[in-house]
Structure 1
């Protein structure tokens, strides 16, 4: 007998659970996505188990009927449990987590068609060079006008002219047409004995179809991707779906090329740059089983973790140490950790792959919670690069310069040999600070307590926190002096200028999120580098991840001390990971690699560990420091961020929260204090930091504490469990 009433989780945190009547003849099982009335409006909700979503009972006579049950598969119980866990662990509204699951509104509207075009066989009345080029390029192709324009290299206007003359004919197609299938046996690689042994373990885990978290710990260039591809192949062969999480959208294009070469078809992608029709098609394919034409493999950013997979069989988190897996607003979740929990609820293996694992992941492996698999050497006989320190207190670059003599000489040597070099500085733009040499005026963001960064390539001053931009003025806004602005400190654009002075004939590429802002741009950069059209790459953390260039034999780290500045609790670990990862770009082919690390603190433990290559010694020392500090993984941190557009209101609210703090043996509260970034996007910010023992019920303490404080409507209170950012 079908249910006559249902409880909904609606997509509005302020409303809470709502009960409705199910109209006669309508089926609305748990997980159904429905539309229901709310006053004069309509709301979207998910049918939920009453025992998992308690609320006060509503009499049958007061229940309003559902409007409709949407034509999408019900959200599976495993995903509903993940929504509950994520909301509970990260102290977030369940509705905010659920919104990530039904993120594509278009996908909820049922089947749809769209118009594509193909050559009809006819010819235009008048042939032009562009029309001829289009007809030649589009033989056998069928796509939208925009896509055909990209394939043919002519404008959409030219193609619409061909449509009007009947040369291109319209074809009505299903928007949700299946993706080309991947084949597990398309091009199986020859693995080394080390890789084959690890791959065998992973393939067996896919076959067992039980929860099994693995830490795949392999040095840079050891072939981790090819190794876990064997587990992906096993899942495809078994008719199960695979999710591969990547930390950066810019990495996807290189990965997609490798995937297509191995499996004969591209995977389904999911990231913020997809058009709405692409998101809809991907979402509906993911919600369908592979045997019914559904998605087989999904490659995406962290939000892909919450999609409604119909038959998930494996999750891979590549570059699992990356901090970009941590969401810093909205639901502040860590995709690495939530991926493990999704694997737990789904009952499937999860692979965390990294050359520099997070200390928390290593601790989980050491305690036996994760199974550790190691690839200790590079594939194909390639050797790890030699690492040398350049002590900047002895090898000073000179006034107005940032590249010391040993690194200058190494750059000149590599260019003479026809080899490629990479310079790393994790600072976008030309200079981090611009001031007036006459009166000392500094350009500050009007919305944030941060300096504006000069970008000479785009001729702008920009805030990297809120996105505010302005053109550099002709005169100082403070004293009116013309031609008085001076750049202070280096960014990657300034380093690129210095490279051009040292190597006037070198072809230099600046690689940052400003220049590589889409998969297409990344593909263009990779193609140019592989073709030898770039001699020196100057980049930020974007170049530390995933790229494989056999001719790149020199890596120079401009300022290894930069990441150690500030009060970040993970600063040493993060510095080690970034520098080790960028060092791993050198010597990945047959030619040996060299890494030069510029530093003013050669004796600092993290710098010494990078020089000696003794990763284990660094991690042991960092583990001891964390243990003594009660920091993760031995203790727990949480942050409470209080903000308002009114500074006095934010301060008063933070003080009111601080005055009601709990006094417990296992939870210690620090603050409130102004956040290091005290003004962000026009809101004044205060922070409280909680340090708790592992045994403390931290989330319960926070809920009870904040639930008893009454605050003005202009105040926002955010909770960050396991914070990575402390600004």
Structure 2
């Protein structure tokens, strides 16, 4: 007997949970909701948030009408637009990920789904509590300029929420009412027109025309360091603002946010909205709603800003587009550069990839006509590219126990005498990468990972850079109990800093890494110190090799150019070339000439030779030909399968089962399984397989069918990394 169906239409909803796939519900006739609406639906006894993805009848497997449950509520936020929904579909399909996991990046602020109004935050009142415990004192010391919710302040201070509530009750923290929907100031496209060079203007015109005409147009803005790429693409931003479009500028590092905001404000009169992991909940809600409602016209953010629900997008700029930090290495393993291009394609607007050292993949797309190439081959104004020279460490040896060669020491001394600034670059945080016992040879290894513990002398800690495990340096060797026997091996930036202080005790130095520039505020302090000439020598990692403009910085020393060339990584040569070229680009950016010294034990290596000879195109041509012969990206494709378990045997057996069931496909090879180079991470044993395929092979569909047909133990995790950048 056919039962009468309740009134309403069938809709398919993707829930914000990875446990279950899309489900069908009934949208009652009295409820007004379009495709893309954010809704609340029942799932068993619970209520879940989801998005209406489609409507209509969904084939023979569809749930019977009388069994459909009603949508409970339509949340009052703008629907997720069709173009962004298509992007979610594409990312889930291309990166072999779960739809819900991708959708969670779109609805990334649960607070944004709640009604507007005010929220109570707390800040220091200046009143000392009657009972000042050590925990309370430490919390107040770390919250001097802070303001936020109880949970946020507890996290920042590293204490429990109970400690923060106690400080509130004692009057040491006072309440502040904050509007969670404060308006955004509108950028003025004609606030301050810069004077562009002819080369800049030519590139700017192409971008302005593309923005004005609309439609998808991927462009690579390839300008040497110091050529004024930011001022050039700002012209495209201004054009988008003039025609009422929204703009997203992606930045690779949170530490680059503050310098960018200052340059943006100088050009447009106000700062843009920002989006990054360090934001408070109220800030995230304000930006998310402002973007969705079209009130936030320009957003500068980290890669996750790519999934914000823009109401009327007209331009995406990916600044420093070559940066590997645009590749997400956990969760949904997407590359923001490539996803930005796809978002422009689905929503019909230009995308600009700006870099002084574009990725080989981007250059290839220009060469075959898929992307438009825009070049600025010289620096702005009177500034010239620095002179680059290699220091052969086998001939020009540093003193025993030191790492700075005599030639570089002399150059540093000359800069100090002239009152100019220097940068020493070493892409290795901490004091030393390895600590061992001189008595028995014991090496300190992370208990959770197959990685050495790195000494951080500034905070007196041994730290694992992979899982975050920290421990104080012991007074004696845990293996042989010998006292005062622990010695650091190799240099990190902190050790180079100590060496500089020994040779130049009067020099004002600063260490610039993600350990010291961990927030936009810390980065702003660093910039202010350098710009105000309160620093003579910067010792830094890759964090300071991009985006910064210091006119008085005339010398760059690369401490160990060979470091990045070790390990056999597919992109090792390209990445090393990019890092050193970007670091070298900090020198001589104004009217004073710059000089760069590259310390190496192999000055004839193609990367070093290309940097010294200024033969960037020759290096890229040779690297491209090597990739072509090897069938490596962009001429072939890779996908990694990572299997992990707390039980080593279980991980090995599962990996063998995956490898043993690999399909035989022409043009596709499966290598492994084998222990991952980082064979243990966060207490889990890891095995890897590598899939190598021709571009003509339908890799995603093959892997989906292959892995989807297997059953894995509950304790085993199987991850897939399409287009991997890390091979650890």
TM-score, normalised to structure 2's length? 0.91
Pick the aligned partner of 1:208 from 206, 213, 235: 213
1:524 matched to 2:525:
yes
- Cα distance per residue 1:310-333 (max 9 Å; x no partner): 000000000000000000000000
The CA distance in 2 between the partners of 1:479 and 1:110, in whole Å, is 62
1:400 aligns with 401
Give the distance between the partners of 1:56 and 1:539, measured in 2 at CA.
59
Give me the CA root mean square deviation. 2.2
User: In the alignment, what sits opposite 1:342?
Assistant: 343
Question: For the residues of structure 2 that align with 1:304 and 1:62, how far apart are their CA atoms?
Answer: 39
- Structure 1, residues 441-487: CA drift from partner, whole Å, max 9, x if none? 11100110000000000000000000000000001111111100000
Measure, in 2, the Cα distance between the counterparts of 1:273 and 1:628: 43
- 1:25 CA displacement: 1.1
Asked if 1 retains the 8 angstrom alpha-carbon contact of 2:10 and 2:55, the reply is: no
| Counterparts in 2 of 1:436 and 1:53: CA distance versus 1, 3 Å | farther
1:496 aligned partner: 497
Residues 17, 53 of structure 1: 8 Å contact kept: no
For 1:314, the equivalent position in structure 2 comes to 315
Q: Which string of whole-angstrom CA distances, capped at 9 and with x for unpartnered residues, describes residues 364-410 of structure 1? A: 00000000000010001200000000001111112101000100000
**Maintained 8 Å contact 1:557/1:596:** yes
Aligned to 1:634: 635
Measured in 1, the distance between the counterparts of 2:316 and 2:566 equals: 35
Asked whether the equivalents of residues 567 and 726 of structure 1 are also in contact (C-alpha less than 8 Å), the reply is: no
Map of 2:189 onto structure 1: 184
Q: State the partner residue of 1:136.
A: none
| Equivalent residue, structure 2, for 1:333 | 334
Maintained 8 Å contact 2:14/2:51? yes
Q: Do structure 1's residue 107 and structure 2's residue 112 form an aligned pair?
A: yes
Structure 2 residue aligned with 1:693? 694
Does the 8 A contact of 1:70 with 1:110 survive in 2? no
Change (3 A) 1:185 1:395: same
Structure 1 residue ranges (4+ consecutive) displaced by more than 6 angstroms after TM superposition: 51-55, 143-147, 170-173
In the alignment, which residue of structure 1 is the partner of 2:253? 248
Quote the Cα distance in structure 2 between the aligned partners of 1:261 and 1:321.
26
In structure 2, runs of 5+ residues without a counterpart are 1-6, 123-144, 150-163
In structure 1, the partner of 2:436 is 435
Cα pair distance change 1:172/1:566, threshold 3 Å: closer
Q: How many residues align?
A: 685
Moved more, 523-532 or 108-117: 108-117
Match of 1:356, SS state, is coil
Question: 1:54–1:601: structure 2 CA closer, same or farther, 3 Å change rule?
Answer: farther
Q: Give the structure 1 partner of residue 45 of structure 2.
A: 40
Say whether the 8 Å CA contact 2:11–2:56 is kept in structure 1. no
TM norm structure 1: 0.92
Tell me which moved more, 392-401 or 549-558: 392-401
Q: Deviations over 1:214-271 (max 9, x none)?
A: 0000000000000000000011111110000000000000000000111011100000
2:427/2:542 contact within 8 Å kept? yes
| Per-residue CA distance 1:48-70 (angstroms, 9 max, x = gap) | 12589878211111111111110
Q: Which whole-Å deviations, capped at 9, do the CAs of 1:689-713 have from their partners, x for residues lacking one?
A: 0111010001111111111211101
CA–CA separation in structure 1 for the residues paired with 2:177 and 2:518? 33
Contact 1:420 1:553 in 2 (8 A): yes
User: Which residue matches 1:56?
Assistant: 61
Decide which moves more: 5-14 or 238-247.
5-14
Partner secondary structure for residue 49 of structure 1: strand
SS at match of 1:553: strand
| In structure 1, distance between residues paired with 2:248 and 2:59 | 32
Within 5 A, what are the aligned runs for 1:28-427? 28-50=33-55, 56-114=61-119, 174-289=179-294, 294-427=295-428
User: Conserved in 2, the CA contact under 8 Å of 1:116 and 1:144?
Assistant: no
1:31 counterpart SS class: coil
What is aligned with 1:604? 605
Identify if the C-alpha distance between structure 1 residues 389 and 325 changes in structure 2 by more than 3 Å, giving closer, same or farther: same
Partner of 2:125: none
SS class of match (1:517): coil
The 3-state SS of whatever aligns with 1:674 is strand
Gaps of 5+ in 1: 118-142, 148-155
Structure 2: how far apart are the matches of 1:248 and 1:650? 34
* Alignment partners' CA distance in 2, 1:684 and 1:51: 46
Distance in 1 (CA, whole Å) between partners of 2:375 and 2:514 is 32
Q: Deviations over 1:274-312 (max 9, x none)?
A: 0000000000000012xxxx1000000000000100000
Aligned equivalent of 2:721: 720
What is the deviation of 1:171? Answer: 9.4
